[in-house]
Structure 1
Amino acid sequence: MIKRNSVSKLLPVLFGFFIMGFCDVVGISSNYVKKDFALTDTMANFLPFMVFIWFFVFSVPTGILMNRIGRKKTVQISNIITIIALFVPFVMYNYYACLLAFALLGIANTILQVSLNPLLSNVVDEKKLTGALTIGQFVKAISSFSGPFISAFAASHLGSWQLMFPVFAGITILSSIWLQATAIEEDESKQKVSTLGQVLSLLGNKTILLLFLGIVCVVGVDVGLNISTPKLLMERSGMQLEDAGYGTSLYFGFRTAGAFIGAILLTKVSPTKFFRLSMVIAVAVLVALIFATDKVIILSLIAICGYSCASVFSIIFSFALEKMPEKANEISGLMITGVAGGALVPLLMGGLSDYMGNQIGSVIIICCCATYLLLCSFMLSDAKKA
């Protein structure tokens, strides 16, 4: 085994999860872009589409590439593309430049998520992988939580919300340097290159298919609440965008707390039971959100949902890696393909919201995703035996 619980190796890998959180800034960004260019919900939701569609396109090829060049080098490629992406809307600001910037950010984030999750398995013991992945999601949640505050500060005090992008670029440069200076061993014997067909054939396993669709839905819930929370607050309580954006931070704040507490609890309780309880709470909350009109109630429901869903991604991902540890790179690429749910779900949300004329349509779509996850949590114990 090459895994060593070395803090000096673990910290730069975990910091990479902070960079991973930058893609969540698309939530508040889509609201600013919608306001600046007077867009419909459907047009504005093409921004998250441009981020997350690349998970469908590049995840499996990235897993194959990772087998050739290694996990660490693949992470560094993602950092370079992230830096380029973050300077585009700062240098040139229009709707199409934003689409380009978030497309590049999506490509970079795809590469990062495929490579960083298995890279973490090189520096922690296998028995602690679920907890370590949850800590990584905790770090990512801190990044996601910070985004709306940074954008609001930039808009209110610096004159332009786009000024947050150079800050994120500088952080990415620091992360890249730190990781490059850290020696991480990778098991060369496991770097057998698979074909695209061989990777996709893993979906023939019932458990892997169930978990793959779970990734699609959990990311759909996450991105859906990210972009719809400010719209709900503006629509139902008359808040201005700069203030409504803090609703997204509240969601990610409770998601951050949930990930931290989840990392502790998952060392003591069954991940499957934890998954089930989390989704029972989430579905109940989302049903209530369809009907909620009071600002305090809306914010409370958003916070509870963020808390309850915080550990679900890492639970699903770790189940998949544990199912076929000998194919960790291929499984990682396949699972991260499911993050394309962040592209599909907002389009469905935008279409139904435009059709209904309000944000109830968005919440209904999110609730459907959570309902699948609830069903998945009860099917999982039997499917894992397959």
Structure 2
Amino acid sequence: MNNKNNNYLGPLLIIGLLFFVMGFITWVNGTLITFFKKAFSLDNTSSYLVTFAFFISYTVMAIPCSMVVKKTGFKNGMSLALLVMAAGTLIFIPAAEMASYPLFLVGLFTIGIGLTVLQTASNPYATILGPRESAAQRISIMGIANKGAGIISQIVIGKLLLAGATSGDPKEQLDKVVVPYLILTAVLVGFALLIWFTKGLVEVSEEEEEPSATQQTAVQKTSVFQYPNLVLGVLALFCYVGVEVVAADTIINYGVSLGIPEDEARIFGAYTLGGMMFGYVLGIALIPKFVSQQAYMIFSAFLGVAVTVIAIFTSGFTSVMCIAVLGFANAVIWPALWPLALSGLGKFTKIASALLVMGISGGAVVPLIYGGIADSIGSTQKAYWILVPLYLFILYFGLVGHKKKSW
């Protein structure tokens, strides 16, 4: 195991490329929400079906995908995931031709299935490939790749889809997605082949990662649900992904609703992701030498509550920038949460990882609730109150929940 821990930099570089791909595909959703809302004349709730279709696949497919990863192993599972994602991006082409919003949602759901496999394989791989006490640091590096790609996708795809004058013809607007999504399809297939033929990605066995005392405890337990730190971790991750996606994917629409021109608002999502990148860099510098991953997560949850309240009670560009600052608050919650939730799971690590991936469905449910509240009360700003209880639960998990070893 020591040899493995000392030789994981090469494989982590490859995993970093995968997180870059995941980020580019995932964070373009904020642009697509605004783009589809205009092209199909949607209300807030209907426009956030983009995130619902994309992220609900994590709940529907997480367990089946964990079985796939168990059969294929981490490496082949990643390659298969990229091919499924390529199928999803390819669906965008006939969807644009037919001007069909439901077919676009099918494409997003298919991409989400591929990402479910990729998350199920890549997150535990990054977690257990090196020393567990620095897992948050490694996943933070992955986060920089993910959010860096998201910033690029927001700027590039936003420029292609939202910038400049737009035609009143929905079909002409939708044709804008054809070329970028054909390119994305080709890139995903290329990465799938790269992973398939790369010899540097060796399989690691999660059963070997825990010390013997922990392993003995794992053997005594017969169900993954006997681990409170995991169950509460799944709920905390649901809350986290909900606040993360709301912060990144509603900010463009929010800016437009405040009267900020669309051509200016299109880059607001990049501000949120930039805040996350800064948070990751700070996490890498501080964890675990100066602060524990748990302490950083507690600070992040406190900050999330404070900044949300400020965003609700300020106005204009100041309020928008508060939503962007939530990116910084959210940054290290994900990488800190995974090792705390997976601690002591031993042989249950893969199924536990699948359950955590199911928690990503918070990105489907919470934005849809946000959109429904905004439509019902007529305020995209006050709808942000939905974030406060979610941050409070994350705070509970960081303070108390992850320490529970039995019910």
Q: Do they fold alike, i.e. is TM over 0.5?
A: yes
Segments of structure 2 that go 5 or more residues without pairing to the other structure are: 167-172, 209-220
Q: Secondary structure at the match of 1:92?
A: helix
Match of 2:18 in 1: 16
Select the residue among 122, 130, 139 that pairs with 1:124.
Answer: 130
Q: Distance in 1 between matches of 2:299 and 2:387?
A: 18
Q: How does 1:314-353 map to 2 (within 5 A)?
A: 314-353=335-374
Select the residue among 157, 178, 186 that pairs with 2:203.
Answer: 186
Select the residue among 173, 180, 185 that pairs with 1:164.
Answer: 180
Match of 2:327 in 1: 306
Q: CA deviation at 1:384?
A: 5.4
- Classify 1:173/1:242 alpha carbon distance in 2 versus 1 (closer, same or farther; 3 Å): farther
User: Is 1:203 aligned with 2:225?
Assistant: yes
Q: CA deviation at 1:77?
A: 1.1
Q: Between 88-97 and 340-349, report the one with greater CA deviation.
A: 88-97
User: Is 1:366 aligned with 2:395?
Assistant: no
- Classify 1:188/1:293 alpha carbon distance in 2 versus 1 (closer, same or farther; 3 Å): closer
Select the residue among 117, 135, 152 that pairs with 2:141.
Answer: 135
Q: Distance in 1 between matches of 2:404 and 2:241?
A: 21
Give yes or no for contact 2:137–2:287 (8 Å, CA) kept in 1. Answer: yes
- Classify 1:53/1:381 alpha carbon distance in 2 versus 1 (closer, same or farther; 3 Å): closer
Q: CA deviation at 1:201?
A: 4.2
Letter in 2 for 1:229: I
Give yes or no for contact 2:129–2:204 (8 Å, CA) kept in 1. Answer: no
Q: Secondary structure at the match of 1:5?
A: coil
Match of 1:106 in 2: 112
Q: Secondary structure at the match of 2:266?
A: helix
Q: CA deviation at 1:161?
A: 4.5
Match of 2:215 in 1: none
Select the residue among 289, 299, 312 that pairs with 1:277.
Answer: 299
Match of 1:38 in 2: 41
Q: CA deviation at 1:263?
A: 2.0
Q: CA deviation at 1:10?
A: 2.1
Give yes or no for contact 1:292–1:298 (8 Å, CA) kept in 2. Answer: yes
Q: Which has the larger radius of gyration?
A: 2
Q: CA deviation at 1:232?
A: 1.6
Select the residue among 252, 264, 267 that pairs with 1:230.
Answer: 252
Give yes or no for contact 1:283–1:374 (8 Å, CA) kept in 2. Answer: no
Q: CA deviation at 1:6?
A: 3.7
Q: CA deviation at 1:56?
A: 0.7
Match of 2:150 in 1: 144
Q: Distance in 2 between matches of 1:309 and 1:210?
A: 18
Select the residue among 28, 47, 54 that pairs with 2:50.
Answer: 47
Match of 1:173 in 2: 189
Letter in 1 for 2:81: S
Q: Distance in 1 between matches of 2:47 and 2:356?
A: 27
User: Which digits, 9 at most, give the CA deviation of each residue in 1:227-252, with x for residues without a partner?
Assistant: 2211221122x123232121111001
Letter in 2 for 1:95: Y
User: Which digits, 9 at most, give the CA deviation of each residue in 1:112-150, with x for residues without a partner?
Assistant: 111111222464343432211121122111122222101
- Classify 1:206/1:122 alpha carbon distance in 2 versus 1 (closer, same or farther; 3 Å): closer
Select the residue among 191, 199, 213 that pairs with 2:235.
Answer: 213
Match of 1:260 in 2: 281
Q: Distance in 1 between matches of 2:327 and 2:66?
A: 29
User: Is 1:65 aligned with 2:63?
Assistant: no
Q: Distance in 2 between matches of 1:189 and 1:313?
A: 20
Letter in 2 for 1:182: T
Give yes or no for contact 1:225–1:366 (8 Å, CA) kept in 2. Answer: no
Give yes or no for contact 1:9–1:182 (8 Å, CA) kept in 2. Answer: no
Give yes or no for contact 1:74–1:115 (8 Å, CA) kept in 2. Answer: yes
TM (norm. structure 2) is 0.86
Q: CA deviation at 1:168?
A: 2.8
- Pairs aligned (count): 377
Q: Distance in 2 between matches of 1:49 and 1:133?
A: 25
Q: CA deviation at 1:110?
A: 1.0
Select the residue among 77, 81, 86 that pairs with 1:83.
Answer: 86
Letter in 2 for 1:65: V
Q: Please, what is the CA RMSD of the aligned residues?
A: 2.4
User: Is 1:287 aligned with 2:341?
Assistant: no
Give yes or no for contact 1:41–1:353 (8 Å, CA) kept in 2. Answer: yes
Q: Secondary structure at the match of 1:185?
A: coil
Q: Distance in 1 between matches of 2:275 and 2:93?
A: 30
TM (norm. structure 1) is 0.90
Match of 2:7 in 1: 5
Q: Secondary structure at the match of 1:70?
A: helix
Letter in 2 for 1:13: I
Q: Distance in 2 between matches of 1:226 and 1:139?
A: 16
Q: Distance in 2 between matches of 1:206 and 1:188?
A: 23
Match of 2:217 in 1: none
